[in-house]
Amino acid sequence: SAMVHVVIVSFPAPGHINPTLQFAKVLLQRGIQITFGTTVQAQAYIASSTTTDGISFATVSDGFDSEADVNNSEPHYPRRYERYGSASLAELIRSLTASGHPVDCVAFNFLLPWAARVAHEHGIPSALIWPQPVSVLALYYHYLFTCPESFADLSKEIQLPCLPPLVTEDLPSFFLPGNTHPHAIPMLREMFDNIHENKCGWAFTNSFDALEEDVIASLREHKINATGIGPLIPSLTPKTIKQAVKEAGKKEEIACNGAHEKPAISNDQNAASEEKKPEPSEQDNKPKKSELVEWLDAKPAGSVVYVSFGSIADVKSLQIDELAAGLMGIDHPFVWVIRPPADYPGFPAGFEDVVEKRGMVVRWCAQVEVLNHPAVGGFVTHSGWNSTLEGLVSGKPMVCVPQWSDQATNAKIVSHKWKTGLRGRKNDKGVIEREEFKRCVGLLMGEESGKEMRENAAKYKELAKLAIQEGGSSDLNIKAFIEALQPQPAVAAAPPPPPVEEHKERTME
């Protein structure tokens, strides 16, 4: 398997990079040579956020290689990336081949259907890495191919195979009249067309069979061979790419108590101070707990509410005020990950006193570590798929407050199919108000009201573990992929048959 070389190309946004890079690490651990291609800015983000030993990085250009501040959420960015990235990927494939490292497969994620086309033009198989649940993949497929008429009147309930009944507020934002990303649906169509035309040989999903077995089976009836390889839990910290580029060469403190951020320390300062330090003792070599983990260690099991709306969610000042007031109104200790906008005037009066008594406010944290801490009993989330999957794998019930894209559908599945959480209702300004926040947290954390959600969350936690263990469904699916890429041994020509001796019958005298 050491001879197999996979090029993985990622759209340069954290929600795309995280599972894609985790898949790269999984393949690397199984002896596959990995080249990870993305933009210059995304490479800076990765380098500042995680270890990537053994993975080679290459630029798949978006035409902004020399610029630090690139808005990849701008509506026309994906088509620009297609224009520059197609040529850049083709050149990368040719360069790797010329240097003695031919490519056996190109894997790519959502918004990069052109990567399959480039791979096909070079006679190389390709694999889609779908970064959302299989249920959302199925929803897009039905919208585009099997029953577009079901979506003609969004005021009516939509019934689709293996999904709960859907209404307008449950649909991806790309379906709605106010959609600000017109590129998404055409690119989804191209993605499915690549599969139909056999330009893309695999459709990997960051999910696992036991979680969405019925949806996987229904898609296979339409020749969409959705294959679970998850959970791919990201090891990256939730910085934005813009932050990572700005902070290149700096080290930032992770947690801060209250509303204050600790100052950054430059690498030069660190190097100077390290020269004066004596040789580390055995005690010094032990991993040090963060301030946040030490704070959690002091809290009773299942008592803490963890609140985070993701790495790039644009949280309005009004929403920050309502969340702060809601946290003041609950009895539970809490951790809140929040990065207020530059013009935010400050938290409501009395909030910092509450934080001092029973709260921790941080700009970012190691979310997987926090969710897996026994003190955390519930998760208030924006329902991005990475966060939703981390909540499931950690066995934590959720209050879902979706913002855009697939998040509303994820929230519906969590609350109505898996029943591991409930959805918070927003007002006409798109804000979950303090009283609704308190109602949802009360139900989630209640001994009786939250019992079924906690039991279901614990069930899926165990099923997720089984999927990635030796012989689990995701483990077997990854092994099958690697085996398909292995060079097939040449079949030796069969030796010629021995000459047939003439049979002579003995004559009886």
Helix (H) or strand (E) holding 140: helix 134-141
**Look-up of token digits 């898949």:** 23
How would you label 256-285 residue by residue, b for 16+ Cβ within 10 Å and e otherwise? beebeeeeeeeeeeeeeeeeeeeeeeeeee
Residues 6+ apart with CB under 8 A from 373: 293, 296, 304
Query: What separation in angstroms does the CA of 295 have from each of 230, 332, 358, 370, 391?
Result: 31, 14, 10, 11, 20
Given 16, 142, 332, 382, the catalytic residue = 16
367 vs 337: CA distance, rounded Å: 9
211 vs 214: CA distance, rounded Å: 9
Query: What separation in angstroms does the CA of 245 have from each of 21, 49, 241?
Result: 18, 11, 6
DSSP 186-250: HHHHHHHHHHHTTS--EEEESS-HHHHHHHHHHHHTTT--EEE-------S----HHHHHHTTTE
- Classify 450 as helix, strand or coil: coil
Cα torsion angle, 171, 177, 179, 182, sign:
positive
Contact, 458 vs 374, CB < 8 A? no
DSSP 331-396: SS-EEEE----TT---PPTTHHHHHHHHEEEES---HHHHHTSTTEEEEEE---HHHHHHHHHHT-
Contact, 15 vs 210, CB < 8 A? no
Residues 6+ apart with CB under 8 A from 289: 297
Asked if 16 is an active-site residue, the reply is: yes
Q: Which residues are catalytic?
A: 16
